């Protein structure tokens, strides 16, 4: 089975680009076009711009805290492959967790931010014991694909316990 959230990752990047464009247009309209009369709804141009800037900051803070990742997961063949990279600005490091399925020891699901973020922690058997990988945010995966991923993990663990 192979999972990939490329469409979601592209949609998130487009959404952020549109938010920046909307912000620039709104600020331009507020200051350079006399579209908002002075004292509209009891607010000045500066107060309108503060509201727009606040909404803009909240939007990007929400997306930053969600820590969306591009995810590629595959369990086909004899290897466990989980590739991911953060969609946060200035985070271009690509990461991969790849090993033989027989070395898959366990996994842990971690939720944070009142359940808004979901991460998975992978455990792998090594000659020195059990290695714990850093948490991988799977927040950008939809619920159906997360459940498929967990079912795949369970299938690998069951196969390892029965010796298949």
- One-letter-per-residue 3-state SS of the chain: CEEECHHHHHHHHHHHHHHHHHHHHHHHHHHHCCCCCCCECCECHHHHHHHHHHHHHHHHHHHHHHCCEEEEEECCCCEEEEEEEECCCCCCCEEEEEEEHHHEEEEEEEEECCCCEEEEEEEEEECCEEEECCCEECCCCCHHHHHHHHHHHHHHHHHHHHCC
pLDDT digit string (tens) for 137-155?
999 999 999 999 999 999 9
pLDDT (tens digit per residue) in 82-133: 999 999 887 778 999 999 999 999 999 999 988 889 999 999 999 999 999 9
- 163: pLDDT strictly greater than 90: no
Domain carrying residue 118: 1-164
Per-residue pLDDT of 44-55, as tens digits, reads 888 888 999 999
Output the pTM of the full model. Answer: 0.82
* Structural domain count, the chain: 1
Q: Is the predicted pLDDT of residue 136 greater than 70, yes or no?
A: yes
Pick from 35-44, 58-67, 83-92, 128-137: least confident = 35-44
């Amino acid at each position: 089975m192979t999972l990939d959230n490329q469409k979601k990752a592209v949609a998130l990047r487009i959404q952020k680009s549109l938010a920046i464009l909307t912000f620039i247009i709104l600020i331009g309209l507020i200051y350079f076009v006399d579209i908002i009369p002075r004292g509209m709804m009891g607010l000045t141009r500066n107060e309108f711009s503060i509201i727009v800037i606040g909404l803009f900051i909240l939007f990007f803070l929400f997306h930053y805290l969600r820590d969306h990742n591009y995810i590629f997961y595959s369990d086909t063949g004899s290897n466990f492959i989980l590739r991911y990279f953060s969609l946060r600005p200035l985070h271009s490091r690509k990461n991969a967790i790849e090993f033989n399925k027989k070395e898959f020891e366990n996994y842990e699901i971690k939720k944070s931010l009142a359940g808004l973020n979901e991460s998975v922690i992978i455990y792998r058997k090594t000659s020195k014991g059990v290695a714990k990988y850093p948490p991988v945010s799977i927040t950008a995966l939809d619920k159906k694909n997360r459940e498929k991923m967990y079912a795949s993990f369970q299938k690998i663990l069951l196969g390892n316990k029965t010796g298949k």
